[in-house]
Structure 1
Amino acid sequence: MKNAETPVFKLVLFGAESSLGSALMVELLSRQHEVTAVVDDLNRHAPRPGLHFKIGGLEGADQAEQGAAGGSAVIALLSALAPGDLAAQWQMSEALVAGLTRTTIRRVLLVGDFAVLDTPGSYSDEQRKGADQVVDALQRSALHWTLINAPQDFPGMGMEHFRTASGTVPPELDGPLRRLAGVAAGMVDILELGLHRGEHLNFVS
Structure 2
Amino acid sequence: MSAIVVFGAGGRAGRAIVAEAAGRGHRVTAVVRDPAKHADLTTTTGVTVVTGDITDAARVAEVSAGHDAVVNAAAELGRPADLVFAGAALALFEGLPRAGVNRLVAIGMAANLEVSPGVRVLDEPDFPAEYLPFALGHTTGLHLLRAAPAELDWVMLSPPMVLDEGPRTGRYRTGGDQVLTPGEPGHLSYADLAIAVLDEIETPKHHRTRIAVGD
TM bin, normalised by shorter chain, reads 0.7 to 0.9
Tell me the amino acid that sits aligned with residue 100 of structure 2. Answer: T
Preserved CA contact (<8 Å) 2:55 2:84:
no
Preserved CA contact (<8 Å) 1:149 1:202:
yes
- Identical aligned pairs, as a percentage? 24
- Superposition deviation, residue 109 in structure 1: 0.5
Q: Distance in 2 between matches of 1:28 and 1:37?
A: 11
With a CA cutoff of 8 Å and minimum separation of 6, indicate the structure with the bigger relative contact order.
Answer: 1
1:55 corresponds to: 51
2:84 corresponds to: 88
1:1-205 maps to which residues of 2 (within 5 A)? Answer: 8-44=1-37, 45-46=39-40, 47=42, 48-78=44-74, 80-82=75-77, 85-113=81-109, 115-116=111-112, 118=114, 119=120, 122=123, 131-136=142-147, 138=148, 140-152=149-161, 179-205=189-215
Please give the root-mean-square deviation of Cα atoms over the aligned residues, in Å.
3.2
Preserved CA contact (<8 Å) 1:57 1:67:
no
Q: Distance in 2 between matches of 1:130 and 1:75?
A: 14
In structure 1, list runs of 5 or more residues that go unmatched.
1-7, 164-176
In structure 2, list runs of 5 or more residues that go unmatched.
115-119, 124-131, 169-186
Q: Could you tell me the TM-score, scaled by structure 2's length?
A: 0.70
Preserved CA contact (<8 Å) 1:11 1:35:
yes
Q: Could you tell me the TM-score, scaled by structure 1's length?
A: 0.73
Q: Distance in 2 between matches of 1:82 and 1:15?
A: 12
Q: Distance in 2 between matches of 1:43 and 1:197?
A: 36
